[in-house]
Structure 1
Amino acid sequence: MQLFSTFETNGFLEMAISTLEKRGIPKESIFAVPLDNRAENRKIFDTLHRSDGTSLIDIGMGLATAFSVIGASIGFKLAWGPIYWGLIGAFAGFVLGFSIRLFLELVFKKKKRVLKGKHSEVILIVDCEESEAELIENILWSHFALGVAKIKRLKS
């Protein structure tokens, strides 16, 4: 039987491996694979197939609504009328809100996009007998594994 688990790169992984070795699991049966970090910077603009869940137009839409109401109200006294001034206010509010959000994403949230300080996870594979699987799973969970999966070997 094989147990697959994922860990963050920290001391708990080392403690889990040493605990497994103390419980009689040979070193040859324990295999740790570190995952590579992302090499490219994260993209700001979403595509049709990929989205990070961050909206750049939320502030823009709110300001567009507010500025269009103000523009339409003031437009009753101006030469072009309320419709044109409402549209001008909506456009100006959207551009202002989009600019604010883009500035916040580029300057203040750059650290979050680059993932500085985040290390890749490690996949730990333990090859064991079926009778030891429950013990090993409990050891992995007690050392803060992010996830654990058991796979039974096919008999040939």
Structure 2
Amino acid sequence: MQLFSTFESNAFLELAISSLEKKGIKKENIYAVPLDNRIEERKVFDSLHRSDGTSFIDIGMVLASAFAVIGASRGFELTWGPIYWGLIGAFSGLFIGVAIRIFTEIILKKKKRYLKDKHSEVILIIDCEETLVPTVENILWSNFALGVAKVK
């Protein structure tokens, strides 16, 4: 039976391997594969086929509504009237909101565009007998494996 588990590359991986060897699993039956993680930056703008769930117009729509109401109410006293000033307020609010959102995504959240939280760095493949599976699985989980899978 084979067990697959993913780990971050740290001391717990080494502890898991040494614990497995102490339980009687030979070095030839333990195989560690390092993964290549993403090194390029994530894209800010989405395409038609890929979206990360971040919207650039959410703040813009809120500001557009607020500025349209303010512009329309002030427009009764101005020369162009409430309709034009409401439209001017809506477009200026939308522009300001989108600019704020792009600024926060590009400048302030640059680090968050990389992979979030923990990510796998090593896949550990263990070949063992079915009687040792619960013990091996317990060792892997106790050494902070990110995930464990069994294949017969």
Q: TM-score, normalised by structure 2?
A: 0.91
Alignment correspondent of 2:133: 133
Q: 1:55 to 1:116 in 2, by over 3 A?
A: closer
Alignment correspondent of 2:89: 89
| 1:80-138 superposed Cα distances (whole Å, 9 cap, x missing partner) | 22122111111101110111111111111112224599775211111111111111011
- In structure 1, distance between residues paired with 2:142 and 2:45: 40
Question: In the alignment, residue 5 of structure 1 is paired with which amino acid?
Answer: S
- In structure 2, distance between residues paired with 1:23 and 1:94: 64
Runs of 4 or more, structure 1, over 3 Å off, are 114-120
Alignment correspondent of 2:27: 27
- In structure 1, distance between residues paired with 2:12 and 2:61: 46
Shift of 1:39: 3.2
Which residues of 2 match residues 2-151 of structure 1 at below 5 A?
Answer: 2-114=2-114, 120-151=120-151
- In structure 2, distance between residues paired with 1:72 and 1:83: 6
Q: 1:53 to 1:10 in 2, by over 3 A?
A: farther
Question: In the alignment, residue 19 of structure 1 is paired with which amino acid?
Answer: S
- In structure 2, distance between residues paired with 1:118 and 1:112: 12
- Partner of 1:139, secondary structure, is helix
Question: In the alignment, residue 148 of structure 1 is paired with which amino acid?
Answer: V
| Structure 2: segments with no counterpart, 5+ residues | none
Question: In the alignment, residue 39 of structure 1 is paired with which amino acid?
Answer: I
Q: CA RMSD in A?
A: 1.9
| 1:54-100 superposed Cα distances (whole Å, 9 cap, x missing partner) | 22222111111111111111111222221221111111011101111
Q: TM-score, normalised by structure 1?
A: 0.89
- Assess if the C-alpha contact under 8 Å between 2:6 and 2:120 holds in 1: no
Percent identity of paired positions between Structure 1 and Structure 2: 73
Question: In the alignment, residue 14 of structure 1 is paired with which amino acid?
Answer: E
- Assess if the C-alpha contact under 8 Å between 1:25 and 1:128 holds in 2: yes
- In structure 1, distance between residues paired with 2:116 and 2:148: 26
